[in-house]
Amino acid sequence: QEQLVEAGGGSVQAGGSLRLSCKASGYTPYSWTLAWFRQGPGKEREGVAAIYTGGSPTYYAASVKGRFTISQDKAKNMLYLQMNNLTSEDTGMYFCAAGKIPPAVATAWALAPAQYTNWGQGTQVTVSS
């Protein structure tokens, strides 16, 4: 059975780092794209980063490119999001998601919430300035 369980959220000061993890059970490699989304207070859910389970490509929102890194450990069924140089704008609930998106699509397509069918419960990230 497919399941997504996030962990690793917390509170950090601006400029700090956090690493989120997601246990992605039941997802066959090469059939899914896994992603991280976030939803800040009063904001719509937005795509942060995505990775095709075949290993590449990866996709990033412009606001996090160069600061965040998405990665996966297929042997452990784990998805990660390393977040560096955090700002208050990064505050929000972070969700792990899975969708049957083929590789080599446009970034906007890969980071669109509507393309994802399975979602985790979320983990809160709070960045204080």
Q: What is the pLDDT of residues 41-99, one digit of tens each?
A: 999 999 999 999 987 899 999 999 999 999 999 999 999 999 999 999 999 999 999 99
**How many C-alpha atoms does 116 have within 13 Å on its Cβ side?**
26
pLDDT at 19: 98
Q: Are 6 and 95 in contact (CB under 8 A)?
A: yes
CA distance 49 to 44: 16
pLDDT at 82: 98
Our CA angle for 75, 18, 34, nearest 5°, is 40
**Cis link prior to 57 (omega < 30° from 0)?**
yes
13 band by pLDDT with thresholds 50, 70 and 90: very high
**Interval 106-125 mean pLDDT:** 97
pLDDT at 81: 98
Does 1 have pLDDT greater than 90?
A: no
Tell me the pLDDT of the chain averaged across its residues: 95
pLDDT at 54: 87
**Interval 116-127 mean pLDDT:** 98
The phi and psi torsions of 90 (rounded to 5 degrees) equal -85, -5
Does 29 have pLDDT greater than 90?
A: no
115 band by pLDDT with thresholds 50, 70 and 90: very high
Q: Are 86 and 17 in contact (CB under 8 A)?
A: yes
CB-based burial, 103-115: b 16+ in 10 Å, e otherwise: eebebeebbbbeb
Our CA angle for 42, 95, 127, nearest 5°, is 60
Amino acid at 107: T
CA distance 129 to 122: 23
